Amino acid sequence: MPSLRDVRKRIRSVISTRQITKAMEMVAAAKLRKAQMKVMQVRPYSEKMDHILESLSAAASGEMIHPFFEKREVKKQTLVLITSDRGLCGSFNANLIRKSWEWLEGKDKDKVELVLIGKKGSDFYKRRQFEIVGRFNDWSGNLDYPKAREVVDFLTNRFLSGQTDEIVLIYTQFISTVRYKVTTSRYLPVERPAIDEKKGGNIEYIFEPSPDKIFANLMPRYALTKMITALADSFASEHGTRMIAMGSATKNAGEMIDALTLQYNKARQASITKELLEIVSGAEALKG
């Protein structure tokens, strides 16, 4: 049975841990609020870009020509995995890595390459035999627009130069504070929007300048918007998961403190009772 000193040390240690997890929970909550605002700002813009692309493709019909739409024989695939730079966020990174591993399973390693966003994904795959062509770390859970543009430029250049034929994203789609969805989506080539005749298939546009020039300006912005949306969703999901995980850790620490305090009181009471019995026994021996 541990001594009273050992139990007191454990109580002090758990109290210190609870203070740390509580502080981390509050920091994650503050970052989550900012990340949620980013998601709310980005999503309407992304939806509007989809609507514009759908409308233009309906009007341009056969004239819609851009390299981002080019579908070719898939000889090389690029997987872009978005994880976090730090841990202590529950099963967030484990779910992403498991999903990416399932996607990679059974594929020829010579026909697949990885682009890793976030340190946790880099740490996992650097020990595996897959080719890593790009690492983008040190985001600190914040959406960095210049760095996001750097990622997009890197990916689009590889696609346009023919170094890869298909780019797939794996990230977490933010649903609520306590919910997210691990999502797999094709980034490039861009899927041609389905033309809905009822909504705009019969609308005639006069393109000025030409459709080629319009799509040449629109598609890089479209690619950037899709990447920023994925990053914003991922960071919001990360902060939400970390807040929940640290909240659970704080609660568990409190329960452990209560259990250790009860154990300490029982041990202390047993020690006092033992001392009283020794005193009484000594007194009775002196009387005899």
Query: Which residues are the active-site residues?
Result: 89
Alpha helices in the chain (DSSP H): 4-60, 92-104, 119-125, 145-160, 211-287
The angle subtended at Cα 202 by Cα 196 and Cα 207, nearest 5°, is 105
Cβ atoms of 93 and 121 within 8 Å: the answer is yes
**In the sheet that 112-117 helps form, which strands lie side by side, from edge to edge?**
131-136, 112-117, 77-82, 166-176, 179-188
Both tokens of 260, joined, read 């250790």
* Among 25, 62, 65, 70, residue whose Cα is nearest residue 191: 70
Rounded Cα distance between 252 and 257, Å, is: 9
Both tokens of 247, joined, read 């909240």
Rounded Cα distance between 184 and 186, Å, is: 7
Cβ atoms of 19 and 253 within 8 Å: the answer is no
Place of tokens 């005749």: 197
Rounded Cα distance between 283 and 273, Å, is: 15
Q: Which residues of 184-195 are buried (b: 16+ CB within 10 A; e: fewer)?
A: eeebbbbeebeb
* Among 170, 197, 226, residue whose Cα is nearest residue 61: 197
* Among 24, 3, 14, residue whose Cα is nearest residue 258: 14
